[in-house]
């Protein structure tokens, strides 16, 4: 299997949508939006399976490993020559098939909502009705910058998850209306994660690094 078509969307779409101001003061959670934000911030480590689907319906799977603050690894299934790693400062996408490496600040990615506990997600979040009492859906979009696109996060009530809400999936939509959906399963919280997990091998010739 080749590289997933929607890999760039996973990292970049909507590019910059999560570059959000820090809150002025912490407030006790009162609404579902507050509870969802608190649930994200309550994650210390997380390991989960993921399935990533692009707008054409092409899907690839893998394992997500997350460690706060800012560290993440999307390890794709065997046969997909792609790796996405966040080291706390930047997100790096490594394409081993073509020996290319691309890097962006975490704050310029929609994954900033998941990785950075200081992001004031609630300020730009809108709760979307789901029709299910156990499901919370938040759409995050900066109205001053519609070109940044949108990210929609779906939470399910789960007493085993931090804050009682579990992030089950998200949909990133870029400025060209291209969507990437990531669904999580098999969540494991508080697992031991070595920082070596977020290292990667540079496929580029030494002269190009």
Q: What is the domain partition of the chain in residue ranges? A: 7-18+31-194
Q: Are 95 and 85 in contact (CB under 8 A)?
A: no
Whether pLDDT at 173 is above 70: yes
Whether pLDDT at 82 is above 60: yes
- The CA-based dihedral angle spanning residues 178, 184, 157, 29, taken in that order and rounded to the nearest 10 degrees: -70
Query: What tens digit of pLDDT does each residue of 196-208 get?
Result: 999 999 998 877 6
What mean pLDDT comes out for the span 8-20?
Answer: 47
Whether pLDDT at 5 is above 60: no
Whether pLDDT at 38 is above 90: no
What are the phi and psi torsion angles at 7 (to 5°)? -60, -40
Whether pLDDT at 28 is above 50: no
What whole-number distance in Å separates Cα of residue 5 and Cα of residue 51? 13
pLDDT for the residue numbered 166: 96
Quickly tell me which residue has 């299997």 as its tokens: 1
- 151 C-beta neighbours (distance < 10 Å), count: 27
Whether pLDDT at 17 is above 70: no
Which tokens belong to 181?
A: 């959906």
| CATH 3.90.1570.10 fits domain 7-18+31-194 | no
To the question of pTM greater than 0.85 for the whole model, the response is no
Beta-bridge mates of residue 74: 64, 84
Alpha carbon of residue 168 to chain centroid: 11
Closest CA to 32 of 111, 113, 131, 122: 122
Angle subtended at Cα 189 by Cα 185 and Cα 194, rounded to the nearest 5 degrees = 110
Q: What is the mean pLDDT of the chain?
A: 82
Which tokens belong to 85?
A: 């790693």
Query: What tens digit of pLDDT does each residue of 96-127 get?
Result: 999 999 998 776 666 666 776 556 677 778 89
Q: Of 14-28, 65-79, 178-192, where does mean pLDDT reach its minimum?
A: 14-28
pLDDT for the residue numbered 165: 94
What mean pLDDT comes out for the span 177-186?
Answer: 93
| Length reported for the chain | 209
The pLDDT > 70 percentage for the chain reads 77
Closest CA to 138 of 113, 105, 161: 113
């Amino acid at each position: 299997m080749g590289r997933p078509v929607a890999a760039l969307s996973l990292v970049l779409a909507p590019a910059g949508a999560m570059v959000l101001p820090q809150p002025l003061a912490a407030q006790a959670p009162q609404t579902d939006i507050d509870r969802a934000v608190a649930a994200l911030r309550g994650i210390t480590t997380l390991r989960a399976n993921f399935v990533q689907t692009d707008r054409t319906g092409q899907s690839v799977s893998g394992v997500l490993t997350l460690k706060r603050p800012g560290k993440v690894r999307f390890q794709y299934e065997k046969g997909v020559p792609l790796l996405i790693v966040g080291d706390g400062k930047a997100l790096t996408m490594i394409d081993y098939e073509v020996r290319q490496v691309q890097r962006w600040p975490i704050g310029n990615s929609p994954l900033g909502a998941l990785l950075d506990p200081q992001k004031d997600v609630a300020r730009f979040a809108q709760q979307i009705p789901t029709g299910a009492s156990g499901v919370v859906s938040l759409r995050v979009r900066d109205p001053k910058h519609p070109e940044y696109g949108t990210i929609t996060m779906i939470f399910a009530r789960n007493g085993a998850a931090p804050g009682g809400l579990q992030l089950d999936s998200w949909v990133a939509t870029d400025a060209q209306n291209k969507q990437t959906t990531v669904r999580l399963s098999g969540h494991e919280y508080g697992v031991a994660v070595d920082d070596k997990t977020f290292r990667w091998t540079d496929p580029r010739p030494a002269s190009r690094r």
